[in-house]
Structure 1
Amino acid sequence: MLIAIAGALIISTSAPLVRLSGVSPATSALFRCAYAVPPMLLLAWLERRRLGPLTGKPLYLAWVAGLMFAFDLLFWHHTIDYVGAGLATVLGNLQVFIVAFAAWALFRERPSTPLMIATPVVFGGVVLISGVFDSGAYGADPALGVVTGVATSIAYAAFLLLMKAGSGRAAGPLAHATVVATVAIAALSPLFGGASFVPEWPAHGWLLLLALGPQVLGWSLITYSLPRQPAVLTALLLLVQPVTTVALSAVALGERPSPLQLAGCAVVVLGVLYGSRRGQAGRGVREQDEQVPNTSTV
């Protein structure tokens, strides 16, 4: 849990670093992965020396996870442009609900009654963030930001579940996923506004920091923790990210969401916290599952 929390704190700097770079969404997505490839390959090589090569199903899952990560970053970096770093990070973390229901189907981690109750409440908070009832909503296009933010959450949830279902390693799967994401972002960038392939300074200094910090260190810690705890718990711990990012964005970037948007943030975070609780029925199912061998092949 401490490793996952440390990783979440590190990746909470991602959105502010994207804003500070001042480049297009596709460019920031591309270079945060490209700059991360060399150190990730080194970490994967060291892991391979201890555990052997990554082959078979875990390798294929890492490749698909990389494709999902490419969509996650492309949608999310556009969301940052539309609603700012803080609100974009809150919207991206709707993955908690997607992970919870998908984990029910894939890993027999049954969602609790509080989760069912919290789901419509949280999406009410999303409506507040969208600014549809707010003439003073922060962001260039808050409504479109909600659309891309939800798309981010879907891709983000798929990435987390694929990484959880892999080999239990950290560096190897993440290195493969990062390489695939780099290639996929370069190929898809024309559909997302285009990317500049020529490094420009000092903008790329921020992207280099983004790659070495959140992308390499932060995600290595999170990837290590994913197979070692329930998917919903990891998703809950990642809520450290949006809360911290909203604060960082206010201090470092001067972002000032409207009162209704801040209320929406509070509704989302509190709703996810409540929804991630396990009711008595959920505990009973968990205890029963612990007594039955897991026959899932996922």
Structure 2
Amino acid sequence: MVAAYLLHGGRGVSVSAHRRIVLIAIIGALIISTSAPLVRLSDVSPATSALFRCAYAVPPMLLLAWLERRRLGPLPRKGLLTAWAAGVVFALDLLFWHHAIDYVGAGLATVLGNLQVFIVAFAAWGLFRERPSNRLMISTPVVFAGVVLISGVFDSAAYGSDPMMGVLAGVATSISYAAFLLLMKGGSDRAAGPLAHATVVATLAIALLSPLFGGADFVPSRPEHGWLVVLALGPQVLGWSLITFTLPRQPAALTALLLLIQPMTTVAISALGLGERPSVLQFAGCAVIVLGVLYGSRRAQPPVDVAPAGLPAVSAEGMRPRQ
């Protein structure tokens, strides 16, 4: 991936590179945080933005996959099939999430997207016998109380065209994204190849599923597609690559803390740049979710000095960015 060539050509990272790893993680989180605002700025239908953010990302991702293949050889058949399956659920993830942005705004939709950490944890418990930590068990009902606050059930001043539908789309996003992470976990220890295959399949799946999600406009236009190109090359390719590189190279608690930059920054960008004004109760719901995810994703573990390159495993306490 991109950052692998910034630090020792993709080899294991020494302790002396720790500050650079943290800096790369922060940069990646800041880049990822612009994803939902860019969707809003493109001002196209949710299916259109989902389709082209993948389509425009395919060429650079194929280049990264080709570079990885030169170093490591062809992707094993199991990894290939799993990546294709992951691409299908990734398509659902993007379609639901872009609808959540449409219903409840970029900031709140991004906060809702971070619920996947809990869904992954309990799914991994059933599939891989990875029991969630006590912290995660305690924080789960607290976090979903935050979801209720965002939904506007008790709030006549709730922000969004349809807050309840926004929450439902956000939860569906998290379920789809959790399935994507679990498939990627069981497929291959590589990064660029599986991601490239998943992105190609996601592009095709979104095109086929788009009629069920309001339809997509297949004709590029300006300036809308200028924003979509920035979305694809920035958050989709560069941001994802940087974050994926840093995840296995630092403790889970530090990863969770750094990745919380993403939803908080998105809420700030959306409020300042897009004029989104969630209600007091919705802001409280955001705070509850962010603090609950931080608390639930922490666990005591020894510091890691050196970690292998490639796609990180997804543990019950692992936390991944909203794409």
TM-score bucket of the superposed structures, by smaller chain: 0.7 to 0.9
1:166 matched to 2:194? no
In structure 2, what is the equivalent of residue 252 of structure 1?
A: 273
Residue type at the aligned position of 2:159: Y
Query: Which residue in 1 is equivalent to 2:39?
Result: 18
Shift of 1:274: 1.6
CA shift for structure 1 position 229: 7.2
Q: Does the Cα contact within 8 Å between 1:65 and 1:177 map onto a contact in 2?
A: yes
Paired position in structure 1 for 2:210:
189
Number of equivalenced pairs: 282
Change (3 A) 1:9 1:271: same
Q: Confirm or deny: 8 A CA contact 1:44 1:175 kept in the other structure.
A: yes
8 A Cα contact 1:95 1:153, kept in partner: yes
Residue aligning to 1:137? 158
Q: Deviation digits for residues 135-163 of structure 1, max 9, x if unmatched?
A: 11100000010000000001111112222
Equivalent in the alignment of 1:220: 241
**Is residue 2:119 matched to residue 1:98?**
yes
Tell me which of 274, 292, 299 is aligned to 1:271.
Answer: 292
More deviation in 59-68 or 84-93? Answer: 59-68
- The unaligned stretches of length 5 or more in structure 1 are 284-298
Aligned to 1:66: 87
Aligned partner of 1:56 among 53, 72, 77: 77
Deviation at 1:95, TM superposition (A): 0.5
Q: Which amino acid aligns with 2:147?
A: V
Choose from 196, 203, 223 the match for 1:175: 196
- Gapped runs of 5+ residues in structure 2? 1-21, 302-315, 318-323
AA aligned to 1:219 is: W
Verify the 8 A CA contact 2:252 2:298 in the aligned structure 1. Answer: no
Taking structure 1 as the reference length, the TM-score comes to 0.88
Determine the C-alpha separation between the residues in 2 that align with 1:227 and 1:105: 23
Post-superposition offset of 1:8: 2.7
Q: After TM superposition, give the deviation of residue 212 of structure 1 in Å.
A: 0.2
How far is 1:277 from its partner?
A: 2.8
Identity %: 83
Give the stretch that moved more between structures: 165-174 or 204-213.
165-174
Q: Partners in 1 of 2:253 and 2:221 — Cα distance?
A: 40
Partner of 2:105: helix, strand, or coil? helix
Instruction: Work out which of the residue numbers 101, 123, 134 in structure 2 matches 1:80.
Output: 101
2:55 to 20, 34, 37: 34
